[in-house]
Amino acid sequence: MALTVGLRPLTRALLRPWARVPGAALGRPAAGSGDGVRCFGSPRVLVEPDPAAGVAVMKMRNPPVNSLSLEFLTELLISLEKLENDKTFRGIIITSDCPGIFSAGLDLLEMYGRDPAHCAEYWKAVQELWLRVYLSNLVVIGAINGISPAGGCLLSLSCDYRVLANNPKYAIGLNETLLGIIAPFWFKDVLVNTIGHRAAERALQLGFLFPPSDALQVGIVDQVVPEDQVQSTARSVMAQWLAIPDHARQLTKNLVRKPTADRLLQQRDADIQNFVRFISRDSIQKSLHVYLEKLKQKKG
Ligand SMILES: CCCCC/C=C\C/C=C\C=C\CC(=O)SCCNC(=O)CCNC(=O)[C@H](O)C(C)(C)COP(=O)(O)OP(=O)(O)OC[C@H]1O[C@@H](n2cnc3c(N)ncnc32)[C@H](O)[C@@H]1OP(=O)(O)O
């Protein structure tokens, strides 16, 4: 898949992809891997490779809530691109290193009080991440170990399989309307593809965040397991998926997903312009302000 990362050279230059991760990563062999196999990654994305299994675990760590800032998106993209291009890997497990939070979704501070050029650059990176995960040739499994609203839910929905930890706080869904904004058409398309038209219609309008039991029932996740079994379950599901020959699975995945991805690919620039126009409206900026204030007040 030929996707351009399309971020400002400055943004990319600021990052140090593939730097050894300080602390946890230094000198520590990856779990389940042979001696000498080291974790690698970037400041916000820790990659634990298990070359023998052909699997890498990608841990998101952009504390406090793994909000998808431009820099974080860029690091995720670089990690994914690297894994995708390395023939050692056939599958990745995406999970979080922030306790209780898978991802709080898009970073509201990238859209609040920003100029149109910044918003456009940000939206391009959001599109890019979605396309990269959704169309990945790798098996992508979400080990969802925390709450995942909006953009966090989109990231989960873009995986091939979702395992959610059974904790009532770990709700998942596209809650954009609760913020006074709307889910873009491609977020909506992925939800419709996953849970069906009627369920998506209700969930989107009401901004449902499904707790685990409801999430399983509606089909927004594939499995709910005790919290301490999320990673091991993701590993055994991965083994099942990797038992299928790659070429057959990849072609089938493409057959199923391409029409949805094409809807965005055919109008990426227009989608960026729509986003920028929408997010720049005074009324939308006001809604974001109110929501951010609510988040602050919640603290105390
Ligand atoms: C017509 C054309 C239309 C085109 C398309 C148009 C529009 C689409 C536009 C946007 C789509 C957006 C999708 C999104 O993803 S929006 C983000 C949705 N996310 C949320 O609603 C989650 C908000 N966060 C929370 O509910 C809680 O933080 C959470 C439950 C995740 C964690 O709670 P906890 O108590 O642990 O932590 P907090 O104290 O609340 O947060 C800590 C810290 O982090 C800040 N923060 C939280 N979430 C975000 C975020 N998404 N972005 C930026 N910052 C966030 C929070 O404000 C705190 O900051 P501080 O007070 O410590 O400074």
Tens of pLDDT along the chain (300 residues) come to 434 334 454 344 333 333 333 333 323 444 444 445 667 789 999 999 999 999 999 999 999 999 999 999 999 999 999 999 999 999 999 999 999 999 999 999 999 999 999 999 999 999 999 999 999 999 999 999 999 999 999 999 999 999 999 999 999 999 999 999 999 999 999 999 999 999 999 999 999 999 999 999 999 999 999 999 999 999 999 999 999 999 999 999 999 999 999 999 999 999 999 999 999 999 999 999 999 999 999 876
User: For residue 237, what are its two tokens?
Assistant: 């599901």
Cα 51 to ligand 1 centroid, rounded to whole Å: 35
How deeply is 139 buried, as exposed, middle or buried, from its count of CB atoms within 10 A (0-12, 13-18, 19+)?
buried
Task: Name the closest-CA residue to atom 36, ligand 1.
Answer: 65
**Could you tell me which of 188, 176, 112, 182 has the C-alpha nearest to residue 150?**
176
Element (H or E) spanning 224, and its range?
strand 223-225
pTM of the model: 0.91
Element (H or E) spanning 241, and its range?
helix 230-242
Does the C-beta of 212 come closer than 6 Å to ligand 1?
no
What ipTM goes with this model?
Answer: 0.98
- Active-site residue, from 48, 75, 110, 176: 176
Whether 123 contacts 272, CB under 8 Å: yes
- Which residue intervals of 63-184 are DSSP H helices? 70-84, 116-134, 151-157
Looking at ligand 1, which atom is closest to the CA of residue 105? 15
Tell me, what amino acid is at 216?
A: L
Does the C-beta of 288 come closer than 6 Å to ligand 1?
no
**151 noted as active-site residue:** yes
Q: Cα(77)–Cα(100) distance, rounded to whole angstroms? A: 23
Phi, psi of 53 (to 5 degrees): -90, -10
**106 noted as active-site residue:** yes
